[in-house]
Each structure stands twice: as structure tokens, then as C-alpha cells.
């Protein structure tokens, strides 16, 4: 007769037991007894942001060149449909951050990033539908859900007045912004 196998695993595969029982036509066999000491599994710990971890710069821009934003946008007219959100993160190597894009208070997109060095620059881009006029907000969020930085821009229907007030504060990489 064939041997019967029973394999038991804990949820995280920390402990396993193997039991085997053989059966034949004339005799019945009972499973072999296996005992294990209880294993305590620690709760998952989400690392908090180190005291020196921070978002050094975060703002909207029309483009990224050589890993740097080319301008700083606060108002965008809806004849322009491309925007990027640039973030420079310091002191958070090994952690994860998310760019959380919201439109008029509604969550639209979440883009996760792994921070791989003590100074890390990331950006996310969006192509906006011209009908999505209104208030846009992007939050930089840590793995625990804490907000590290929040920025907003207004996406407005193109008019002569908006064209005059579109805010692009520089044509080269901006200086460190708080």
C-alpha cells in the first residue's frame, strides 16, 4: 500500500512537522506523533521615518531634465495636459514612499517608490484630461501612511487672464525649497 504523508506548515513557514503513516491490507497504523515547542512570531514592525528623514524639495514642474525639475508650477491652464511632481527625499534609504494624487478631494492615483539612497530624487507624471479643471493635490506619504509633504496646483480653463498668471517661477533647476 502507499504511504500517506501529512505536512503541516505555519502561516509564515517558521515551523513544519512531518508525519508519516504506513498502512497495509492486514493492519492499520496510526500516525507518528510529532511535538513542537510553541513559536512566538513577532508582530510586523513598520519602520518610522528617522528623525533626520525628510522631504527636502517637492513641487510641480512641466518637465524633468538631468534628474532635476525645470520650473515650479502652481497654476496650469488646460491647454497644457502634462505635469510632473518632483520630490527630493533625504535620510530615508530603504523605505518606501508614495505619491498620492488627488483631484477635487478624490483619490485618483498612487505611485509607490522605493528610496534606495540617503538622497533620492523621484518624480511622477500625469497626463491630464482638459476637463479635469480644479484643485489638484499630491501628498508624499510614508509606509505607515503618514504625510511627509503636500503640494497643490490649480488646473484652470484657459482664458487670457489665466495665461497671464500661469506660474513658472524659473527656467532652471530651483534652489532648495522648504
Checking if the pLDDT of 3 tops 50, the result is no
> Is beta strand 54-61 parallel, antiparallel or unpaired with respect to 119-127?
unpaired
CA distance 114 to 97: 6
Q: Could you tell me if 138 and 85 are in contact, meaning their C-beta atoms sit under 8 angstroms apart?
A: yes
Q: Could you tell me if 86 and 44 are in contact, meaning their C-beta atoms sit under 8 angstroms apart?
A: no
The residue among 151, 131, 133 whose CA lies nearest residue 141 is: 151
The tally of CA atoms less than 13 A away on the side-chain side of residue 154 is 9
Q: 94-132, pLDDT tens digit by residue?
A: 999 999 999 999 999 999 999 999 999 999 999 999 999
- Name which CATH class applies to 54-165: mainly beta
pTM as predicted: 0.64
Q: What is the mean pLDDT of residues 14-30?
A: 37
Domain boundaries in the chain? 1-42, 54-165
Using the structure block, give the residue that is written with the C-alpha cell 508582530.
43
Q: 32-44, pLDDT tens digit by residue?
A: 444 444 444 444 4
| pLDDT above 90 coverage of the chain, percent | 58
CA distances from 143 to 24, 150, 161 (A): 56, 16, 41
Checking if the pLDDT of 73 tops 70, the result is yes
Range from 20-29, 49-58, 90-99, 158-167 carrying the lowest mean pLDDT: 20-29
Range from 15-24, 39-48, 124-133 carrying the lowest mean pLDDT: 15-24
Q: 75-90, pLDDT tens digit by residue?
A: 999 999 999 999 999 9
Amino acid at each position: 500500500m502507499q504511504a500517506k504523508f501529512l505536512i503541516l506548515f505555519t502561516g509564515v513557514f517558521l515551523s513544519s512537522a512531518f508525519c508519516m503513516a504506513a498502512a497495509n491490507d492486514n493492519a492499520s497504523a496510526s500516525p507518528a506523533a510529532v511535538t513542537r515547542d510553541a513559536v512566538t512570531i513577532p508582530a510586523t514592525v513598520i519602520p518610522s521615518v528617522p528623525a533626520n528623514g525628510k522631504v527636502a524639495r517637492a513641487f510641480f514642474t512641466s518637465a524633468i531634465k538631468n534628474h532635476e525639475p525645470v520650473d515650479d508650477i502652481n497654476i496650469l491652464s488646460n491647454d497644457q495636459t502634462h505635469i510632473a511632481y518632483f520630490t527630493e527625499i533625504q535620510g530615508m534609504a530603504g523605505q518606501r514612499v508614495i505619491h498620492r494624487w488627488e483631484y477635487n478631494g478624490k483619490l485618483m492615483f498612487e505611485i509607490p517608490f522605493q528610496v534606495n539612497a540617503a538622497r533620492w530624487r523621484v518624480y511622477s507624471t500625469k497626463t491630464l484630461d482638459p476637463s479635469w479643471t480644479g484643485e489638484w493635490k499630491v501628498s508624499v506619504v510614508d509606509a505607515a501612511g503618514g504625510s511627509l509633504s503636500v503640494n497643490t496646483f490649480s488646473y484652470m480653463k484657459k482664458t487670457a487672464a489665466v495665461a497671464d498668471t500661469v506660474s513658472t517661477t524659473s527656467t532652471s533647476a530651483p534652489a532648495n525649497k522648504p
